[in-house]
A and B are shown apart, each in its own frame.
Chain A
Amino acid sequence: AQSVTQLGSHVSVSEGALVLLRCNYSSSVPPYLFWYVQYPNQGLQLLLKYTSAATLVKGINGFEAEFKKSETSFHLTKPSAHMSDAAEYFCAVTLYGNNRLAFGKGNQVVVIP
């Protein structure tokens, strides 16, 4: 079955520094991949998605992710962290024709002033 792996439950980053969250997927067929963000006491909100078009995907709030088939990865980056980026981030995968999503365990991002 399809799955994603996110390493490091807590990630600390200094304000203005690069944000890098890693996601590796397992899938025997081309996947659709997603990054969601969850702010405290809120539901999950879509940051960006890969659906087999451009491999470099740009999302909201300055985030982007690159699909690398050879590495089975879909890492999330933002060049300069802002205090408002403090949240939990989830990577998710689905298969074409299947509306279920398999979520990773999430990364709690802390931004240090």
Chain B
Amino acid sequence: DAGVIQSPRHEVTEMGQEVTLRCKPISGHDYLFWYRQTMMRGLELLIYFNNNVPIDDSGMPEDRFSAKMPNASFSTLKIQPSEPRDSAVYFCATAGQGVYEQFFGPGTRLTVL
């Protein structure tokens, strides 16, 4: 298995632009998590899905952030409009039903100028 795949690996954009981050989970995993990592705030859970349904989005910082999981093979995290304070590394992680270990992707490093 290729593991969790995230794209792009790096994204540089200007303030106000829309940013879309993508994640392909490990086949058969029922849970998908989106995290944000910064020096100041550490690792934060933004939202997670179970069987493509959002379960808890309380970590999503603002309405500018949205996440979707249209099918078991794909999820997106969108920021519109982006702001410099959104600069961070965004991780996608997945887990199987009844298995509490999470498998992390390589992350997307986002820089908003």
Contacts and interface: CB of A to CB of B under 8 A. Distances in A.
Interface string B82-109: 0000000001010100001111111100
Contacts of B105: 43
Interface string A79-111: 000000000001000100001110101100000
A34 B100 CA distance: 9
Interface residues of A, number: 18
A17 interface: no
B43 A106 contact: yes
Given A32-B100, A49-B101, A99-B50, A90 B43 contact: yes
A3 interface: no
B34 interface: no
A51 interface: yes
Contacts of A51: 100
Q: Is the interface of B mostly helix, strand, loop or mixed?
A: strand
Given A32-B100, A44-B43, A49-B100, 15 more contacts: A34-B101, A36-B104, A43-B4, A43-B93, A43-B105, A43-B107, A45-B104, A49-B101, A99-B31, A99-B48, A99-B50, A99-B102, A101-B45, A101-B100, A103-B43
Interface of A: 32, 34, 36, 42-46, 49, 51, 90, 94, 99-101, 103, 105-106
23 contacts: A34-B101, A42-B106, A43-B91, A43-B93, A44-B91, A44-B93, A44-B102, A44-B104, A46-B101, A46-B102, A49-B100, A51-B100, A90-B43, A94-B100, A99-B48, A99-B50, A100-B33, A100-B45, A100-B48, A101-B45, A101-B102, A103-B43, A105-B42
